[in-house]
């Protein structure tokens, strides 16, 4: 089993817009659940009419070490490099086969774990995706629900309007509704590395030959969807793909979807 606990406290110290330490930053009381996981595997499942299918699955162990009961409403997805997306839901009939493959009769399906996790409790669960496109070379498994969606971050905001496809930030307007932010901004956290890179590239394009202005440093309470992403690769082709070894290809925190800046923290 691999653990994400150490990754949660790592910081990147090089390059603009990446995560940095800041002793003056206001402290957030954000909670995060612990995660350990096994490899991405394949199991053979008996289907109706005497057919057999191969299902992908991954075993997860979720632990609450925060000292208080926490809400646990997981969403586990598998995204292939063939532009297919799969949610680990609706394949509970394959659980006996997964239990047999793992030699663990206590495994439960991820859909059965929703609710509260008590302090010190560990959930041992299988995320079962069903059949996955045999043409994939790379698949990304994302676990959403491990962290409080509210966090406080240091934000660097530029007085430059940019276009950043795929990276959307909103701010609560006077009406209370979310309004899009067109100015360039970067959020100083390791989960925002890829997003910050997109913003920095758009910022340089916007100023052209000019000099990138210095940003205003602010602290914001942010609402986000943080995911822990595990990347797996598989050599070979689609023929006999279920016999090919699935290899780990790295893992990291990311943020998916729009990010909403709820309120600025006055220093």
User: Comparing 52-66, 101-115, 230-244, which segment has the lowest mean pLDDT?
Assistant: 230-244
Q: What is the pLDDT of residue 43?
A: 95
Q: What is the pLDDT of residue 125?
A: 97
Q: What pLDDT, in 10s, does the model give residues 160-199?
A: 999 998 899 999 887 878 899 999 999 999 999 999 999 9
* Whether pTM exceeds 0.95: no
Q: What is the pLDDT of residue 173?
A: 80
pLDDT at 22 over 80: no
Residue 39's SS3 state is: strand
Counted domains in the chain: 1
pLDDT at 251 over 70: yes
Q: What is the pLDDT of residue 126?
A: 98
179: DSSP letter: E
CA 143-73-80 angle, 5° bins: 30
Q: What is the pLDDT of residue 228?
A: 98
Domain containing residue 201: 2-264
Q: What is the pLDDT of residue 15?
A: 35
pLDDT at 10 over 60: no
Q: What is the pLDDT of residue 222?
A: 95
Q: What is the pLDDT of residue 26?
A: 63
Q: What is the pLDDT of residue 98?
A: 97
Residue 215's SS3 state is: coil
Q: What does each C-alpha distance from 174 to 96, 170, 171, 181, 262 come to in angstroms?
A: 53, 13, 10, 14, 12
Q: Both tokens of residue 23? A: 């002793």
Reference 40, options 83, 86, 90; nearest CA is: 86
| Beta-ladder partners of 152 | 221
Q: What pLDDT, in 10s, does the model give residues 198-249?
A: 999 999 999 998 899 999 999 999 999 999 999 999 976 555 556 678 999 9
């Amino acid at each position: 089993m691999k653990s994400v606990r150490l990754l949660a406290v790592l910081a990147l110290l090089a390059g603009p817009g990446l995560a940095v330490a800041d002793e003056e930053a206001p402290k957030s009381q954000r909670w995060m659940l612990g995660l350990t996981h096994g490899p991405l595997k394949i199991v053979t499942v008996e289907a109706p009419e005497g057919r057999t299918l191969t299902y992908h699955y991954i075993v997860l162990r979720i632990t609450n070490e925060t000292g208080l009961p926490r809400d646990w409403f997981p969403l586990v997805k598998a995204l292939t490099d063939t532009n297919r997306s799969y949610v680990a839901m609706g394949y509970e009939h394959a659980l006996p086969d997964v239990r047999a493959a793992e030699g663990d009769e206590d495994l439960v399906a991820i859909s059965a774990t929703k609710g509260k996790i008590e302090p010190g409790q560990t959930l041992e669960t299988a995320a079962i995706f069903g059949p996955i496109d045999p043409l994939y070379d790379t698949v990304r498994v994302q676990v959403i629900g491990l962290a409080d969606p509210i966090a406080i971050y240091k934000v660097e905001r530029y007085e430059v309007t940019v276009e950043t496809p795929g990276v959307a930030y909103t701010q609560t307007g006077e009406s209370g509704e979310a309004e899009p932010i067109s100015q360039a901004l970067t959020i100083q956290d390791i989960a925002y590395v890829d997003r910050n890179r997109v913003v920095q590239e758009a910022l340089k394009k916007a100023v052209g030959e000019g000099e990138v202005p210095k940003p205003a440093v602010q602290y914001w309470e942010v609402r986000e969807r943080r995911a822990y992403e595990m990347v797996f690769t598989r050599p070979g082709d689609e023929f006999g793909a279920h016999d090919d070894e699935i290899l780990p290809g790295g893992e990291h925190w990311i943020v998916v979807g729009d990010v909403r800046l709820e309120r600025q923290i006055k220093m």
